[in-house]
Chains A and B, each alone.
Chain A
Amino acid sequence: MSAIPLVPASYEQEWHLPSKGRVGMYGLIIAESAIFTIFVVAYVYYIGKSLYGPTPQQVLDVPIFNTICLLSSSVTIWLSERAIERGNMRGFGLWWAVTITLGTIFLVGTGMEWYKLIYHDGLTIRTNLFGTTFYSLVGLHATHVVIGLIMLGLTLIFTLTGHVRQEHSERVQVLALYWHFVDAVWVVVFTVVYIVGR
């Protein structure tokens, strides 16, 4: 009896497992959400607790245009996901590039906002509690945008050199998941910083 299989040969059933790329990305998103939660809690808890100015009411402008750009980049990346799934590589590259452009506009907008805050309003991370929490939270999000843009940019380079093909659509979608997450976090950050805290 040296060759007993673990089960009778007749035993067959369908066997489907979730994609490990997706599970892994969801894991990362769970972990990142917890990090953002702590920073958001700190921001909310410290609203109005600064002992001296400037206050959010005095210096913050609502970045409507920026927000529209970032949120619509979720739509464009979704369009490029759909394109690669159907094998439309031109459409994929096009929408992917549009996504990167929108993300870059957002980042430049944040840079301009910070420039104004630092040089015009004199608000730095050490000025007061508002400065500390504001730059930390918005900066943490901006860091994620930067990482996302680097990943998207690399993918675009590989696309232009013809290394990304239809069979990579799964991986592209996993990356897009991250971008959707970065956009979703902005909704929370925007609400907390520019609506609740202002």
Chain B
Amino acid sequence: MADQTLPIHGALDLTPPRESQHTLLDILHDWVITVDHKKLGLMYMMMAIFFLLVAGAEAICIRIQLAVPNNHFISPQTFNRLFTMHGTTMVFLVGMPLVFAWANYIVPLQIGARDMAFPRLNAFSFWLTFLGGIFLYYSFIGGPGLYGTGSAPDVTWWAYAPLTAKAFSPGHATDYWALALIVTGFGTIGGGINIMATVLSMRCKGMTLMRMPLFTWLMFVNGAFVLIVITPLTAAQVMLLIDRYLGGHFFDTQAGGSATVWMHFFWIFGHPEVYVLVFPAFAIASEVIQVFSRKAIFGYPAMVAAVVGIAFVSLGVWAHHMFTIGMTSAGNAFFVLSTSLVGIPTGIKIFNWLATMWGGKIRFATPMLFCTAFLFQFLCAGLTGIMLSVAPWDWQLHSSYFVIAHFHYVLVGAIVFNVFAGIYYWFPKATGRMMSETLGKWHFWLFFIGFHVTFDTMHFVGFEGMPRWIYTYPADRGWQHLNLVVSIGGVIQAIAVLLFAYNLIWSLFKGKIAGNDPWDAWTLEWATSSPPPIYNFATDPVVRSRRPLWDLKHPEDPDWKYD
């Protein structure tokens, strides 16, 4: 019955469209000049997937190099560049564009709006982010410096002083790195402002704040949150460039400056950044788990409070990245306690997702498989996070592969898994076709196995004392077997991701026609056609509960009766 009532009455403008030309140039022109939130969302998404493949390839090179002892697959210089580029790309050219990909595509549809609040600012933000990507990768050919031709930045993605000083990082590689981050930072500020204004000022009639889908809530908090998260980084990068180009002394210890100040500024950005990246994953889980458990989300107000709580607490935990620099014991104690505190609101979220699944009629389609794995993996990542938040434990394992395993459990095990879930879930809306479920299941299981082979094992490599950033290691350390396993897992993940890329392209042309509401979902984006028309809804929808499509499909038992 669902499809008979959808798209909702008045959603589509039935006047026939004007004839349009469809040469390749026309289509390209269309995409370049667009200010439509859906196209920009897809452009952010394509950019993120492209750079995901690039940074993934960099990771594979790193893993080949580390697979066996005394290896010389790549040079030490290249190794340093690759892990710098891998980190920088994944955070700023994959993670951040993904935030705006989801927010752009989904939020206006979910709140019944026709576009973002500032469509032109939206396009401007995207192109700034894209320009940042070009800056960063141009460094491969444009930043020669002392190394001869071709040198990407090799200062790691947090670029501690004084390594970034002109004396230690000559050439322009570091400058391209700093510029790229400033430029994508401006794009992020524009995007954040846009999300905030869209959610506050563009909601359709009846969509009160407490009736917004949790997805929109998380994106809203994230939009406001990035404004205070990304800006300290922008400020610090400006200082770095002042040091490098105008002869300033911010991080110059020989003139009284402090390298520690850079660490503080970087991690004041760097820690909350993890939450900026993970909020979209939470957002996706909050939609997918409801729909595939056939139950409304458990504890909606608690979920909203928890995300606001996480945002606030996470602003006061940054120095847990710096336990080994020798802070006072009062400082250590403060950051141990504040970091552990994040566990409380995060725990609330996990319990609420579990409670949503509890007693539900769970359908394990591909999106739900990824979200279920997310729950489990995010829990593990949280637990190793609590372990590392204890200063003495951190002293032991700081800068070891245990730390790498921990944060990849968050970044891959939570974020990438849910990004895949989100793509499988909303692909039908964006393209009108379903993604192949068979390929999807293969993708999930291969990626799941590869992920655990790699990152579970990596914890033990860390326990055995292997430090990060080392180019190679001798055979007598006892690290070689585990490293080989880690690298094999990496290859399995790479195969899974290529399978996913193939699935995307195959489904785009050959996928089953999806219809408007293939998952029998409850939020407004499913109330219009797939793909949605450029104006989203011809007449503004009016809602009366958190699940407007439930009300529509079940007029005998609508949600608003229980408000």
Picked from B227, B247, B256, the residue with its CB within 8 Å of the CB of A31 is B227
Give the segment of A34-42, A71-79, A92-100, A109-117 that binds chain B: A34-42
Q: Decide yes or no: A4 and B5 within 8 Å by CB, A17-B201, A38-B231 being known contacts.
A: yes
- Give every chain B residue within 8 A of A38 (Cβ-Cβ): 231-232, 235-236, 265, 268
Q: Decide yes or no: A27 and B224 within 8 Å by CB, A38-B236, A129-B255 being known contacts.
A: yes
A24 interface residue per 8 A CB criterion: yes
Chain A residue with the shortest CB-CB distance to B548: A6
**Distance between B261 CB and nearest chain A CB, rounded to angstroms:** 6
Contact present for A39 and B249 (CB under 8 Å): no
Contact present for B9 and A31 (CB under 8 Å): no
B196 interface residue per 8 A CB criterion: yes
Chain B residues proximal to chain A, CB less than 8 Å: 4-5, 8-9, 117-118, 121, 189, 192-194, 196-198, 200-203, 205-206, 223-224, 227-228, 230-232, 234-236, 238-239, 242-243, 246-250, 255-258, 261, 265, 268, 527, 541-544, 548, 551-552, 555, 560
- Give every chain A residue within 8 A of B198 (Cβ-Cβ): 20
- List 19 A–B pairs whose Cβ atoms lie within 8 Å, in order of A's numbering: A6-B542, A6-B548, A7-B544, A15-B206, A19-B201, A23-B117, A24-B193, A27-B196, A27-B224, A31-B192, A31-B227, A31-B231, A35-B235, A37-B232, A38-B231, A42-B250, A46-B257, A136-B242, A136-B248
- Chain B CB within 10 Å, residue with most, of A5, A15, A35, A128: A35
Chain B residue with the shortest CB-CB distance to A139: B242
A126 interface residue per 8 A CB criterion: yes
- Which residues of A in the span 1-26 have a Cβ within 8 Å of any Cβ on B? 1-7, 11, 13, 15, 17-20, 23-24
Chain A residues proximal to chain B, CB less than 8 Å: 1-7, 11, 13, 15, 17-20, 23-24, 27-28, 30-35, 37-39, 42, 45-46, 49-51, 125-126, 128-129, 132-133, 136
Q: Decide yes or no: A125 and B247 within 8 Å by CB, A4-B9, A6-B544 being known contacts.
A: yes
A189 to B75 alpha-carbon distance, docked (Å): 48
- Give every chain B residue within 8 A of A1 (Cβ-Cβ): 4-5
**Distance between B435 CB and nearest chain A CB, rounded to angstroms:** 29
Q: Decide yes or no: A50 and B256 within 8 Å by CB, A4-B5, A6-B8, A17-B203 being known contacts.
A: yes
- Give every chain B residue within 8 A of A125 (Cβ-Cβ): 242, 246-248
- Give every chain B residue within 8 A of A32 (Cβ-Cβ): 231
A177 to B527 alpha-carbon distance, docked (Å): 38
